[in-house]
Amino acid sequence: MITTSSYKDFDTNLYSRVSISKDRGKDAGFSGETFLELAPKEEFFRVWKNNRGVIPEDENTRYYVEEYYKQVLSKLDPAEVYRKLDYKTLLCYEDSSEFCHRHLVAAWFNLLLGDTIRPVTEIKMVDGKLEVVGDCGSRYESLLETVIKKNERMCGFSSVRARYLFDLGEKLEALADEKESTDPEHNYDYLRQAACFRRCDADAAEEEYRARQKKLVSEAKK
């Protein structure tokens, strides 16, 4: 299970904490573990910061989300990153109610990994006790989903999780082809079988997504 928080709200050594800030938490006096692969890039961060109060907030947020996805998240495998950070709390500077890239990371995990993980939640320490703030990533899931669909080849899928699973299957199939071309004496059907399983998972995820969307439309009409 992964959680998120701010440096000031989770200033404790009782739990495993990881900085995902580009400055490694230096301004907060943090000196622990870092995972810079999730840190925003300086150039688009500066543009976003300079545009605060200059252009509409929604427009500026959309710019940040799209650039963060294109330049950071799209380069990473959410399942692999989740495995590396499991049982850790991801830290940055902003309060839980403020826009922060850690909330986008939470939304990314929740969207692409689905019910294979527990939803990423925001936590804090209050008088020495752990408190759950809530699912802060959910407020950005719709926007991030739109950005992913805009920037990725959806392969006929409506669900971003389905497309992710299908892509995993395609990569496994390509790996099998590559290995067989360089090592024809060995059989790599296990990779092709794994690829088939991922495609089946993709179809199931798409079906579940369409059922949820249909239910939402039906409830909205009531």
28 and 126 co-located in one domain: yes
Structure tokens at 210: 């369409």
Domain residues for the domain of 66 are 3-145
pLDDT in tens, 177-207: 999 999 999 999 999 999 999 999 999 999 9
Nearest to 23 by CA among 6, 43, 5, 42: 42
213 and 110 co-located in one domain: no
Share of the chain above pLDDT 90, in %: 91
Quote the mean pLDDT of the chain: 95
Number of structural domains in the chain? 2
- pLDDT for 218: 86
Nearest to 89 by CA among 5, 32, 27: 5
158 and 50 co-located in one domain: no
139 and 174 co-located in one domain: no
CB 191 within 8 A of CB 172: yes
Share of the chain above pLDDT 70, in %: 100
Average pLDDT over residues 45-65: 97
> Cα-flanking dihedrals φ and ψ of residue 127, to 5°?
55, 40
pTM of the complete model: 0.94
Final residue belonging to a domain, choices 111, 145, 179: 145
Final residue belonging to a domain, choices 145, 161, 184: 145
137 and 171 co-located in one domain: no
63 and 141 co-located in one domain: yes
- Residues 6 or more apart whose Cβ sits within 8 Å of residue 51: 60, 63
141 and 161 co-located in one domain: no
Final residue belonging to a domain, choices 116, 145, 174: 145
Is the per-residue pLDDT at 222 higher than 80?
A: no
pLDDT in tens, 95-137: 999 999 999 999 999 999 998 998 899 999 999 899 999 988 8
- pLDDT for 31: 93
CB 157 within 8 A of CB 206: yes
131 and 23 co-located in one domain: yes
Average pLDDT over residues 1-18: 94
167 and 139 co-located in one domain: no
pLDDT in tens, 153-171: 999 999 999 999 999 999 9
124 and 191 co-located in one domain: no
